[in-house]
Amino acid sequence: AEDPKRRVLKDVFGFDDFRPGQADIMEALLSGRHVLAVMPTGAGKSLCYQVPALVMGGLTLVVSPLVALMQDQVAALRLAGVGADTINSSLDREANVAAWRRVASGQKRLLYLAPERLMTERMLEALSRLDVSLIAIDEAHCISQWGPAFRPEYEDLSRLRHIFPNVPIIAVTATADESTRSDIEARLFAERVETLVLGFDRPNIKLAIESKQDSKRQLLRFIERHPGKSGIVYCLSRKKTEEMATFLEKHGVTALAYHAGMSKDAREANQNAFMTLSGVVMVATIAFGMGIDKPDVAYVFHTDMPGSLEAYYQEIGRAGRDGRKAEAHMLYGLGDIRMRRLFIDDEDASVEHKRRAHRRLDTLIGYCETAQCRRQVLLGYFGEQAEPCGNCDNCVDQVPRADGAAEARIILTA
- Which residues have a Cβ under 8 Å from the Cβ of 356 and sit 6 or more positions away? 16
Residue nearest ligand ADP, CB atom distance: 44
Count of residues interacting with Zn ion (CB under 5 A): 5
Q: Which of residues 41-60 bind Mg ion (CB under 5 A)?
A: 45
Q: Does 246 bind ligand ADP (CB under 6 A)?
A: no
CB of 202 to Zn ion, least distance (A): 12
CB of 296 to ligand ADP, least distance (A): 30
Q: Does 375 bind Zn ion (CB under 5 A)?
A: yes
Which phi and psi (to 5°) does residue 113 adopt?
Answer: -140, 150
Which phi and psi (to 5°) does residue 214 adopt?
Answer: -125, 95
Please give the radius of gyration of the chain, using alpha carbons only, rounded to the nearest integer: 25
CB of 381 to ligand ADP, least distance (A): 11
Could you count the other beta carbons within 10 Å of the beta carbon of residue 179? 11
Nearest CB to ligand ADP, comparing residues 138 and 327 = 138
Nearest CB to ligand ADP, comparing residues 196 and 220 = 196
Nearest CB to ligand ADP, comparing residues 18 and 332 = 18
CB of 205 to ligand ADP, least distance (A): 22
CB of 304 to ligand ADP, least distance (A): 23
Q: Which of residues 23-82 bind ligand ADP (CB under 6 A)?
A: 39, 41-47
Q: Which residues of 52-76 are buried (b: 16+ CB within 10 A; e: fewer)?
A: bbbbbeebbbbbbbeeebbbebbee
CB of 137 to ligand ADP, least distance (A): 12
Nearest CB to Zn ion, comparing residues 340 and 375 = 375
In DSSP terms, 86 is beta-bridged to 112
Q: Does 154 bind ligand ADP (CB under 6 A)?
A: no
Residue 84 near residue 58, CB atoms below 8 Å: no
The listed partner (ligand ADP, Mg ion, Zn ion, none) that binds 367, CB under 5 to 8 Å by sort, is none
Give the residue ranges of DSSP H helices in 17-120: 22-30, 45-56, 67-79, 93-104, 115-118
From CA 343, how far away is CA 135, in angstroms rounded? 41
- Which residues have a Cβ under 8 Å from the Cβ of 265 and sit 6 or more positions away? none
Nearest CB to Zn ion, comparing residues 267 and 329 = 329
Look up residue 314 and give its DSSP letter.
H
> What's the full length of the chain, in residues?
414
Among 5, 8, 19, 65, binds ligand ADP (CB under 6 A): 19
CB of 267 to ligand ADP, least distance (A): 29
Residue nearest Mg ion, CB atom distance: 45
Calculated CA dihedral for residues 279, 295, 210, 375, nearest 10 degrees: -170
Count of residues interacting with Mg ion (CB under 5 A): 1
Q: Which residues bind to ligand ADP, rule: CB under 6 A? A: 15, 17-19, 22, 39, 41-47
Q: Which residues bind to Mg ion, rule: CB under 5 A? A: 45
